[in-house]
Amino acid sequence: MAVAFVTVGTTSFDGLINEVNKVEFHEGLSRLGYKDLIIQYGSGSVIPRVPEDICTESTEHLSTTPFLRIKSFRYKDSLVDEFQRASLVISHGGAGTCIQALTPCGRRRLIVVVNDTLMDNHQEELALALLQGKHALVCTPASLNHLLWTGNESTYPSQFVCNKNMPLAEIKRLLGPEVPPEQAGFVGFTRGSPEKLLPYIEERLLTFS
C-alpha cells in the first residue's frame, strides 16, 4: 500500500514532528508515490498539521504535487493495523518499534530517525547496527527531508549504493512503495518470529560495538 507511517512511541519527539509538518516532507512523500500519511505523535507539544494547511502552503509555493491524506493521533492501544498498512515506517529508534516495522520480513521499509538531542543514546546504537546490516536507513530530523528528496543521508555512512545526483526513478526504487524492499537493496531482518529478533538485535549491537 502507498501508506507512510510516522511513529514516535510512548514519549515525544518534537524534532521529528517539526520536520513532518513541513511542506517539503509531504511533497517528498507524494513524489515517491505515497498517498496516505499516518502520524502517531505521542506526548509531544508539536501537533501534526491538518491537510488543508499543507495544501494552502503548497499552493503558495506554486507546487502542483497532490497533498497526502493525513490521519494523526497521540496513542492507540495497538499499532498493528498501522504497521500492516504501511509500506514505509519513519520512526524513533525504539527496539520494539523496529521489530514491528521489520516483521514480517520484506514487508516494508524502515527509516530510523535518531534523536540527536539525547545523551547516552542507545537508540542510535541500534539504528547504526540496523544500517550496517542494510535492514534500515538512518538519519536525523534535520536530514530526513534531504533523504526523501535525494536518497542520500550525509550524517551516517550509507550501506546502500547512492549516487550524488540520483535520478527520481532510483530514489523511488529505494524509498517508494512500488518496489519490494529486498529488490531495492534492503536485507530482510530475519525469517522467524518476532521473539527471535531480540537476541538478534543484541548480537548486532555487540558486533557493531
Predicted model pTM = 0.86
pLDDT for the residue 62: 46
Cβ atoms of residues 20 and 145 within 8 Å: no
Q: Retrieve residue 52's grid coordinates.
A: 488543508
For residues 203 and 208, give the distance between their C-alpha atoms in angstroms, rounded to a whole number: 9
Residue 157, φ and ψ in degrees, nearest 5:
-65, 120
pLDDT for the residue 59: 58
pLDDT per position in the chain (209 positions), as tens?
A: 899 999 999 889 999 999 999 999 999 999 999 999 999 999 999 999 887 777 776 655 545 566 789 999 999 999 999 999 999 999 998 888 988 898 887 789 999 999 888 766 677 888 888 888 889 999 999 999 999 999 987 677 666 656 667 899 999 999 999 999 999 989 887 655 555 556 666 666 666 55
pLDDT for the residue 129: 85
pLDDT for the residue 66: 67
Closest CA to 4 of 97, 110, 78, 133: 110
Strands (E) across the chain are located at: 3-7, 36-40, 69-73, 88-91, 109-113, 137-139
Q: Retrieve residue 90's grid coordinates.
A: 519513519
Cβ atoms of residues 144 and 22 within 8 Å: no
Q: Which domains does the chain have, with CATH numbers?
A: 3-207 (3.40.50.2000)
Q: Partners of 139 in the beta sheet?
A: 113
